């Protein structure tokens, strides 16, 4: 009985919080509407010489207390300009969510993060982290121009194994750059110690199964670094971590694990397992030959321990969107040069070379 009462109380609190957030967002939208439509006579640009926002901020703060500083009043005005129809505003996202979203100038990018935050039930912290890691650009560069439009309208759709793969993965949350040298075990430990952020970086649908999962074959014991189950694709996802370059032997090892999981671990309803070999860097030609004629769903991706260089990635994204033949260009070819120097510099710093 106590448990049920506790559940009811928690549900009631969540409803109250949701109602308050929704009312606050709507109220701030109405204030923004008033600033633009009445104080500025419908003009998008305020006459800053009149001190309009300063005066409004001062008056509101005096009468209603905190929450009406000049920057927040400016956000209310921008909120209305970017969302002129209140019906397009999410009922789930809080004002703090929208304060972060308003920092994004590109409407397609903003729409993507808004959609993902709503469907993924991201808190503000998760939203900020995904924006800093430039998730939108990384996903967009892995597809084509049609996919970019789809991302902004529908968010990330998981329909096939390729949809869960990123290149690179961003592990800035591990704290490893502060170490003079790190091992694969250190990387694994750091990822598990920050499991919630790691799952956020992996994306939708991942459920953690375990680390160092045993594979018993012919009286010998092997271990898979990390094992997940993907709830949408209904399959195991095996991840093997490499501190440096991914080699052809790593591909063979992962293929071995995938064969085992397909034959021994899959049950009715499970689809083909997915394998991801994650390394600090990879040689494109070596990987091309190593992956030839492999029928398993095996992918090789890079990780980096630093947030992406925004200017580099945005420049690459602009070139991608301007390139009429971009649909026929694979992701590694598009982003390799943009990342190579930056990534190698980060690796050298971490390894102390």
Alpha helices in 120-208 (DSSP H): 124-132, 135-140, 145-154, 184-193, 195-202
168: preceding bond cis by omega (within 30 degrees): yes
CB atoms inside a 10 Å sphere around CB 345 = 11
- Helix 145-154 and helix 107-119: axis angle, to 10°? 50
The pLDDT of residue 225 is 97
3-state secondary structure of 13: helix
pLDDT tens digits, one per residue of 35-89: 888 766 655 565 543 577 778 778 877 887 777 788 888 899 999 999 999 988 9
Report the Cα–Cα distance between both ends of the chain, in Å, rounded: 62
pLDDT at 62: 81
Per-residue pLDDT of 132-161, as tens digits, reads 999 999 888 877 777 787 888 888 889 999
Mean pLDDT of the chain: 83
Instruction: Say which DSSP state 235 is in.
Output: E
Say whether 255 sits in a helix, a strand or coil: helix
DSSP assignment string, 100-114: HHTT---HHHHHHHH
Residues of the chain with pLDDT under 70: 1-18, 39-50, 324-353
């Amino acid at each position: 009985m106590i448990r049920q009462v506790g559940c009811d109380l928690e549900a009631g609190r969540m409803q109250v919080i949701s109602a308050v957030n929704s009312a606050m967002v709507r109220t701030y939208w109405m204030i923004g509407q008033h600033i633009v439509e009445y104080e500025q006579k419908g003009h998008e640009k305020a006459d800053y010489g009149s001190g309009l926002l300063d005066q409004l901020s001062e008056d509101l703060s005096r009468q209603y207390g905190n929450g009406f500083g000049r920057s927040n009043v400016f956000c209310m005005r921008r909120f209305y300009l970017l969302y002129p129809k209140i019906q397009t505003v999410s009922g789930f996202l809080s004002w703090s969510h929208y304060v972060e979203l308003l920092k994004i100038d590109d409407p397609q990018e903003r729409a993507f993060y808004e959609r993902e935050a709503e469907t993924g039930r991201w808190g503000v912290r998760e939203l900020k982290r995904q924006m800093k890691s430039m998730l939108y650009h990384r996903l967009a560069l892995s597809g084509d121009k049609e996919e970019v439009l789809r991302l902004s309208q529908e968010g990330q759709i998981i329909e096939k194994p390729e949809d869960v793969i990123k290149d690179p993965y961003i592990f800035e949350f591990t704290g490893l750059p502060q170490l003079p040298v790190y091992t694969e075990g250190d990387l694994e430990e750091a990822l598990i110690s920050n499991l919630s952020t790691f799952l956020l970086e992996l994306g939708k649908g991942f459920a953690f199964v375990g680390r160092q999962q045993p594979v018993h074959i012919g009286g010998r014991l092997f271990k898979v670094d990390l094992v997940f189950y993907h709830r949408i694709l209904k399959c195991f996802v095996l991840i093997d971590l490499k501190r440096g370059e991914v080699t052809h032997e790593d591909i063979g090892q992962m293929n071995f694990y995938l064969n085992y999981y397909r034959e021994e671990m899959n049950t009715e309803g499970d689809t083909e397992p997915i394998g991801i070999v994650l390394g600090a860097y990879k040689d494109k030609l070596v990987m091309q030959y190593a992956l030839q004629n492999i029928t398993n769903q095996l992918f090789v991706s890079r990780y980096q321990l630093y947030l992406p260089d925004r200017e580099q990635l945005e420049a690459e994204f602009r070139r991608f969107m301007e390139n009429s033949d971009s649909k026929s260009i694979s992701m590694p070819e598009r982003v390799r040069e943009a990342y190579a120097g930056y990534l190698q510099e980060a690796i050298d710093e971490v390894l102390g070379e």
